[in-house]
Amino acid sequence: MTTVVLAPVARKRRNRSLTRFLRNPAAILGLVVCVLIVLTALLAPWVAPHDPDFQFPEGLTMEGAPLPPGGAYLLGTDLLGRDLFSRIVWGARASLTVGFVANGVAVLLGVLIGALGALTRGWVGTLIMRFTDVMLAFPVLLLAIALTAILKPSLWIVALVIALINWVPIARVVYSEVAALREREFVEAANAVGASGGRILRRHILPHLVPTALVWGSLGVSTTVLLEATLSFLGVGVQPPTPSWGGIINESQSYLTTAPWLVLAPGTAILLTSLGFNLLGEGLRDALDPRGGL
Amino acid sequence: MLGFLGSRLLQSVLVLIVASVITFTLAFLLPADPARMVAGPSASVATVNSIRHELGLDRPFLSQYTSYLNRLVHLDLGRSYKQSSEVSALMASRIWPTVQLMLGAIALELLIGLPLGIWAALNRGRWPDTLVMGLAFLGAAAPQFWLALSLVYLLAYRFALFPLGGYGGLNHLFLPALTLGIGGAGWYARMMRSQLLEVLGQDYIRTARAKGQTPALVLLKHALRNATLPIVTMIGLDIGTFMGGVVVVESVFGWPGLGRLVWDAIRVVDIPIIVGVVIFSAFAITLANLLADFVQPFVDPRVRYR
């Protein structure tokens, strides 16, 4: 009975959100950029013209300097004579793997902990939220750097550390949303007819959190990619020889004045990825909830 | 009012205590052997053990933590493993450069962000609005270290307007502060724009306009005052973040602040310094947020302490 009545309404709202999203040029731009980058990462072996790790004997000048863009190598070569474009294409894999894994775990943790904090009134909820207060007092980047450095950096350690840091703001957003939801009539009604806590969470609370999870699922990838790039730039992120955008810039820092493309090109890749997921996330937020956000 | 002050203060102290427990626990659990680090790779096992005993690292966790906390309330952060001096002395010498960088960064954030935000709000929906919002997105998406290197390449190498790095007067300060300023300015521009748009739609602004006040006066006297509150909160958050050590910018520019100190310590696993800076940062962040709360009623009389 209820589903029959509610389904058309829900569908109509979804259509309206979709229309709003499609009419927002910034959101479409974000979506296109994201799709292109994800495809690049997935199809890296076919997109990259060369082996990213192969050191071409003719990839360096007579003096041993990297080759500038143009010519046989689209974006030039790096300090070891490897094809820069191929390394950037493969670097998309490392960035997006960390981006999606770390952010996925963070969203999952954030939604679960935030919802749990709001639903269990009393001291458990208070304790959870006070814990997020403490987490917000920590210097996030410093903590990430120290932990990854000392735990022996690797792609998965980086993802784990970022996830353990990034769930906090998500949990706080979800907490305030669930705190408002639990006072609504339909939750009261479900309670009154004797639905269990788990059923209320699954059927009546979690569906309302889908927009939040979607928005953070996209916005969070942007911050995660930036954080991963920063860690790799400092040398405590994804380790060479695995190509990563931050790592390429780290290796090439001392060539800044003689071969600036080695810093410019991977930096642009980071910027585009971060921008794409940012625009997509903001677009989703505007489409799903026109009131929220700045 | 006193009740509000008291409860916020108590809350902050609790947050800091828990933060110190977490930091200390993490440092304790880390799979690094400080005694071996101090002794060096060629020292004998006996030497390492005697150093471990000397540092008190063979005592149980709780005993180590209580003695750490006891020293902490006396502002004693212990001795560096690698450098033969007190952590608090090492940190004290780095605080002033970090404060300078923080002041420069916040000044530039405001100087860049606020006018752009006002410009965007006054031209809502037209090209200046689109331009400013686009720039704000770019600023938020640009990785800090890349922005730093690009500024070095462009302004220090290509046009040779500023030194490549190092510590010194205002010309040394400018590029690192600008790196941080560009990153933050976008947030200020967005906040200013949305605040102003909200205020500009209200009745008292229409009244002021109807009275025949010039647009500039309406903006300065009526609109901006009511739009500044969240900006104050943001400044408070920024003070905390920047005092917490800007590792990336300080290491790219060779700026001898807290961020550089802790980065050098991380690379040699000098745990007392790492723990000291992390706790100092947590303290700075908490204090800055507290300050922002307290200042609010002075900026905006509509806000009362609750």
Which ipTM did the prediction report? 0.85
User: Residue B14 above 80 pLDDT?
Assistant: yes
Choose from A142, A152, A268 for mutation: most chain B CBs within 10 A.
Answer: A142
Per the CB < 8 A criterion, the answer to whether B136 and A273 are in contact is: no
- Output the pLDDT for position B2: 67
Pairwise CA distance, residues B115 & B121, whole Å: 10
Query: Is the C-alpha dihedral spanning B21, B24, B28, B30 positive or negative?
Result: positive
- CA-nearest of A208, A198, A200, A225 to A106 is A225
- CA-nearest of A274, A20, A81 to B139 is A274
Per the CB < 8 A criterion, the answer to whether B254 and B266 are in contact is: no
Query: Is the C-alpha dihedral spanning B90, B91, B92, B94 positive or negative?
Result: positive
DSSP A121-149: THHHHHHHHHHHHHHHTS-HHHHHHHHHH
Q: Which residue has the tokens 């003719």?
A: A58
- Output the pLDDT for position A5: 47
pLDDT one-digit tens code per residue, B55-102: 777 777 788 888 777 777 777 777 787 777 888 888 888 999 999 999
pLDDT one-digit tens code per residue, B202-225: 888 888 888 878 777 777 777 887
Q: Residue A107: what are its φ and ψ, rounded to 5°?
A: -65, -45
Yes or no, beta carbons of A230 and B248 under 8 Å apart: yes
Q: What residues contact A289, with CB distance under 8 A and at least 6 apart?
A: A211
Residues 28-87 of B with CB under 8 A from A: 30-32
B240 vs A272, more confident: A272
- Tokens linked to B266: 């991380």
Name which of A131, A253, A278 is nearest B137 (Cβ-Cβ). A278
- Output the pLDDT for position B40: 72
DSSP A227-284: HHHHHHHHTSSSPTTS--HHHHHHHHGGGTTT-THHHHHHHHHHHHHHHHHHHHHHHH
pLDDT one-digit tens code per residue, B268-279: 888 888 888 888
Other residues' Cβ atoms within 10 Å of the Cβ of residue A269: 21
- CA-nearest of A187, A213, A212 to A202 is A187
Chain A CB contacts of B152 under 8 Å are: 256
Chain B CB contacts of A264 under 8 Å are: 150
My answer on whether omega of the bond before A241 falls inside 30° of 0, hence cis, is yes
Torsion angle, CA of A101/A106/A112/A118, rounded to 10 degrees?
Answer: -170
Query: Is the C-alpha dihedral spanning A237, A240, A242, A248 positive or negative?
Result: positive
- Output the pLDDT for position B305: 61
Yes or no, beta carbons of B248 and A233 under 8 Å apart: yes
- Output the pLDDT for position A4: 46
Q: Is B23 helix (H, G, I), strand (E, B) or coil?
A: helix
Q: A290 CA to chain B: closest CA distance, Å?
A: 14
Q: What residues are paired with A240 via a beta bridge?
A: none
SS3 letters across B138-161? HHHHCCHHHHHHHHHHHHHHHCCC
Chain centroid, CA B38 distance in Å: 31
pTM over 0.90: no
- Output the pLDDT for position B297: 75
- Output the pLDDT for position A293: 44
What is the chain B residue with the closest CA to A279? Answer: B137
What is the chain B residue with the closest CA to A141? Answer: B247
Q: What residues contact B159, with CB distance under 8 A and at least 6 apart?
A: none
Name which of B31, B138, B263 is nearest A275 (Cβ-Cβ). B138
Helix (H) or strand (E) holding B52: helix B45-54
- Output the pLDDT for position B125: 86
| Confidence band for B188, pLDDT divided at 50, 70 and 90 | very high
Per the CB < 8 A criterion, the answer to whether B277 and B258 are in contact is: yes
pLDDT one-digit tens code per residue, B227-236: 787 888 889 8
Q: How big is chain A by its Cα radius of gyration, in Å? A: 23
- Output the pLDDT for position B57: 76
Residue A258's alpha-carbon distances to A25, A66, A220, A288, in angstroms, are: 38, 9, 35, 48
The count of residues in chain B is: 306
- Output the pLDDT for position B72: 78
- Tokens linked to B68: 């750490």
Pairwise CA distance, residues B287 & B277, whole Å: 15
Q: Is A79 helix (H, G, I), strand (E, B) or coil?
A: coil
Chain B CB contacts of A280 under 8 Å are: none
Inter-axis angle of helices B271-299 and A140-150, to 10 degrees? 170
Chain A CB contacts of B142 under 8 Å are: 271, 274
Query: Is the C-alpha dihedral spanning A163, A169, A171, A177 positive or negative?
Result: negative
Would an 8 Å CB–CB cutoff place B13 in contact with chain A? no
User: Residue B35 above 80 pLDDT?
Assistant: no
Which parts of B226-273 are beta strand (E)? none
Instruction: Please identify every stretch of chain A with a pLDDT value under 70, giving residue numbers as ranges.
Output: 1-14, 59, 290-294
Other residues' Cβ atoms within 10 Å of the Cβ of residue A263: 22
What is the chain B residue with the closest CA to A25? Answer: B130
Would an 8 Å CB–CB cutoff place B118 in contact with chain A? no
